[in-house]
Amino acid sequence: MRRLRGWFSRLGAMFGRRRREGELDAEMESHLQLHIEDNLRMGMSPAQARREAIMKLGGIEQTKENYRERRGLPVLETLVQDIRFGGRMLRKNPGFTCIAVLTLALGIGANTAIFSVVNTVLLQQLPMPEPNRVMVIHRYEGSSLPYPEFLDLQAQNQSFELLALHRRGSVNLTGAGEPERVVVRMVSPDFFPIVGLQPLLGRTFRKEDDHLGAAPVVLLSEGLWRRKFGADAKLVGTSIIVDGQACAVIGIVPGLPKLFAQTDVFYPIDQWSEPSFRERGGGLGSVGLARLKSGVTLPQARADLRRIAGNLALAYPKQDAELKFSALPFRDANLGNLQRVLLLLFGAVGFVLLIACANVANLLLARSTSRQRELAARIALGATRTRIVSQLLTETLMLSILGGGLGLGLAVWGTRAMVVAAPAGMLPGEGAAIDLRVLLFTLLLSVLTGAIFGLIPALKASRFDVQTTLKEGGRGGSGAHHRAQGVLVVSEVALAMVLLVGSGLLIRSLERAWAVSPGFDPHNTLTFSIALSPDKARSAAKTREMYVQLIDGLKSLPGADSASVVFGNLPFTGDSDIFLYREDRPKPDKDTDMADALWYEVGPDYLRAMRIALQRGRFFSPQDAEGAPLVAVINDGLARKLFPNEDPLGKTLHLQFFEESVQIIGVAGTVKHFGLDAPPDADNQLQLYLSFRQTPDRLVALLAKDSFVVVRTSGRQTNLFDAVRQQVRAVDNEQVLYGLSTMDQLLDGSLAFRRFSMLLLGVFAALALLLASVGIYGVISNLVGQRTHEIGVRIALGAQRGDVLRLLLGHGVSLDLLGVVLGVAAALPLMRLLGSQLFGVTPADPLTFGGVAVLLTGVVLLACYIPARRAMRVDPMVALRYE
């Protein structure tokens, strides 16, 4: 108990130390005086009295030391002392401190930010039960899975625990406030257990709900429920009007992971009344989703699918001959390219971290050489090795903590910046949070680097020849030190080289992609989607007429040059394709032997609105309307494929799906439908234009559900937005207009991903360059400091300033060249990993490699020049005296 009191007392004594120190002095002084008085009384002379008193008191300093030790907690006190000393040392060398702290902060911050985002994108995408067992089922490589085939799969498969079909579309929501166009996902009932969706209210679909003619039911997403219906719990059980049909709301489901997050309404897929949906060999954008039975592997499932495909091919030779199913893990199907890019960034980040650590190590090594003298002096004055080691360790830890703290701030900011800069839809709604594990890992790594390289001087200190060091003035930086520094610098340069080459290649790829002509003029063109209010009573003729009215109205707007409606696909959106064949040749037996073209049903002004080149023949005119002979315009790709040596004009094509024959009246230029950077694959670029007024009656309603309009303007498009909206409303009050934007924006968006990864890698490359040049600067600067004496001697002996410069620059350049060569050697195989990210450049593009090498060497030379110039200005008289 008493001892505890003692400890507390000692703890408290850490404060107010100066006061107590003064008290002790006073007490000692008074002790002496009392003793001296006694001595005087005993008859000694004043001098004798004093001497005797002092001798009897014993060693004052020793007493004070013992007193101090007893009074406070020495361990804590030395720690505080170390911290203060460390702080002073760091403040005295602001350059070193700043660089070291910044380097650490950048390494830690960048790492954490990237890891956090990557983690969010790669891992948090799939909060469904057993995500690794969820598969996406397509027909062929990525085509839609038709409903009858889906039913067959359900009946015949042996590998899936659950199998569902889903398809995305959009519907009009009316009767509740503003009419709105919302995203619908038509699903079979098993969709919900596979994805792990539990209803917040009500229930999900059952088998009884999912067939044609059952009572119409819908599920709403939580987002829509909150936004439009104010989270009204009584909504369940009431009905809302979806595409003109009253549907009962039977439940509310929570928002899904990013991929399905935009779904507002769920609808049973088998209730869809679209007749072509149930055609064998059809599809209409449906995709299968399945969960593997436990114990079944992916190869086994694929074998099972092959078996079923074989069965169906025999049973339905007309539609399902050569049928194949594909099964892909959900993660790969939806991330694929993204995953690869992010892993690439992982690598980049690793490089930067390495460079940062190498830099810090370098800095510490450099500093250790300059502190040898200080350490030698301290040893000579009696410091124990433990004290020195602990003090140096404290110093390095302070550095690491400062760097870590700044790095944390950088990580937070960096994560937020990345979330803002990321292309839309890449990250889930809530953004990305910092991953603590990575923060700790990078922090640990930095601290370790600091500790190891910071301790080197201390560990060497014990083996010092103190005398020699003191005499030499600490100039004897051992060869091992310099070699180590050299190695570190060379590796930094090599790493930076790799990153710079990578980013250079990506920059060139982007530049090449931008240079590609899209095949049309995206400037001054605005586009939007439109959905006529579903009116079952409206005839196909009336629908067509409404569109014509709309286009005429739009064309009459001031500032509008031309306009056209587009059914089917708009460049950069959609991938609807149809099979077709030449009517003057025998019909191919199987669909897959036919040409597969993207189709666009457009108005007469389309080519003009999009400024697509017309190569031969003519485009549509107002006469190509209902009742007139069916016509079509093909692109040059289709012309080359089907009519390699003949004139396609006047020939007839038979179209599947439309089930009609059309006559070719013109050939148009090719549009880069899948983006500027799509691989130039001949099959992608088969395009067919049809006159929208000649759409078969039975398809009008279906196609009108998702149609586009393009308007070319002669000036700033944004001014027309309101006018356009008014025009749309004038034609039909209940129409919904959405997706209003400009073609420029769509084009931009198609390259957004490429731009983002280029930006990211570019930032890392710049970081690497900065760090590497700082590293070299540090090393050369240190070298200059070390060799000032030697330089002074050289100059005194007649060397020219230029010679000195050459000496130092030469050293720097040789390090740099070695690094560049190593970097090139490393980069050549690594750049191949960039794979599909590259566009228009080879992985070994000599221009990029050469340019980067020159850039790197230039920067390094600059970094060497600054300290070298300092060396040149050395006054030999000063240098020779310099200790």
| Binding interface with another protein (CB under 8 A) | 2-3, 5-6, 9-10, 23-24, 26-28, 30-31, 33-35, 37-38, 56-60, 62-63, 66-67, 69-71
CB of residue 2 to another protein, shortest distance in Å: 4
CB 590 within 8 A of CB 322: yes
E strands present in 821-864: none
CB of residue 11 to another protein, shortest distance in Å: 11
Helix (H, G, I), strand (E, B) or coil at 652: strand
Length of the chain: 883
Nearest to 110 by CA among 422, 516, 389, 406: 406
CB 28 within 8 A of CB 19: no
β 595-602/687-691 pair status: parallel
* Residue placing its CB nearer to another protein in the complex, 4 or 682: 4
Q: Give me the residue label for tokens 């114990």.
A: 295
CB of residue 21 to another protein, shortest distance in Å: 13
Helix (H, G, I), strand (E, B) or coil at 516: coil
Give the C-alpha separation, 544 to 536, whole Å.
14
Query: CA separation (Å) from 862 to 144, 776, 812, 868, 880?
Result: 59, 10, 10, 10, 28
How far does CA 252 lie from the centroid of its chain?
33
Helix (H, G, I), strand (E, B) or coil at 586: coil
CB of residue 822 to another protein, shortest distance in Å: 55
Give the C-alpha separation, 82 to 66, whole Å.
20
Compute the C-alpha angle 565/570/575, nearest 5°. 135
Region of 297 (left: φ > 0; alpha: ψ -120 to 50; beta: rest) is: beta
E strands present in 533-610: 560-568, 577-582, 595-602
HSE on the CB side for 405, CA within 13 Å? 5
CB of residue 13 to another protein, shortest distance in Å: 8
HSE on the CB side for 163, CA within 13 Å? 22
CB of residue 397 to another protein, shortest distance in Å: 31
Helix (H, G, I), strand (E, B) or coil at 515: helix
CB 352 within 8 A of CB 107: yes
Q: Give me the residue label for tokens 């309603």.
A: 701
Give the C-alpha separation, 785 to 783, whole Å.
5
* Residue placing its CB nearer to another protein in the complex, 3 or 463: 3
* Residue placing its CB nearer to another protein in the complex, 2 or 92: 2
Give the C-alpha separation, 244 to 221, whole Å.
20
CB of residue 63 to another protein, shortest distance in Å: 4
* Residue placing its CB nearer to another protein in the complex, 24 or 821: 24
CB of residue 15 to another protein, shortest distance in Å: 15
CB 528 within 8 A of CB 710: no
* Residue placing its CB nearer to another protein in the complex, 40 or 516: 40
CB of residue 49 to another protein, shortest distance in Å: 13
CB of residue 12 to another protein, shortest distance in Å: 10
Please, which residues have CB within 8 angstroms of residue 375's CB and are 6 or more apart in sequence?
A: 388, 457, 458, 461, 464, 469
* Residue placing its CB nearer to another protein in the complex, 54 or 231: 54
Give the C-alpha separation, 778 to 864, whole Å.
9
Helix (H, G, I), strand (E, B) or coil at 660: strand
CB of residue 67 to another protein, shortest distance in Å: 5
* Residue placing its CB nearer to another protein in the complex, 61 or 430: 61
Nearest to 288 by CA among 125, 142, 127: 142
* Residue placing its CB nearer to another protein in the complex, 75 or 682: 75
Please, which residues have CB within 8 angstroms of residue 260's CB and are 6 or more apart in sequence?
A: 185, 195
* Residue placing its CB nearer to another protein in the complex, 39 or 125: 39
CB of residue 377 to another protein, shortest distance in Å: 25
* Residue placing its CB nearer to another protein in the complex, 65 or 575: 65
* Residue placing its CB nearer to another protein in the complex, 62 or 733: 62
* Residue placing its CB nearer to another protein in the complex, 386 or 467: 386
* Residue placing its CB nearer to another protein in the complex, 28 or 678: 28
Q: Encoding tokens for residue 338?
A: 């993204």
Under DSSP, the state recorded for 845 is -
CB of residue 46 to another protein, shortest distance in Å: 15
* Residue placing its CB nearer to another protein in the complex, 27 or 647: 27
What single letter denotes the amino acid at residue 302?
Answer: R
CB of residue 68 to another protein, shortest distance in Å: 9
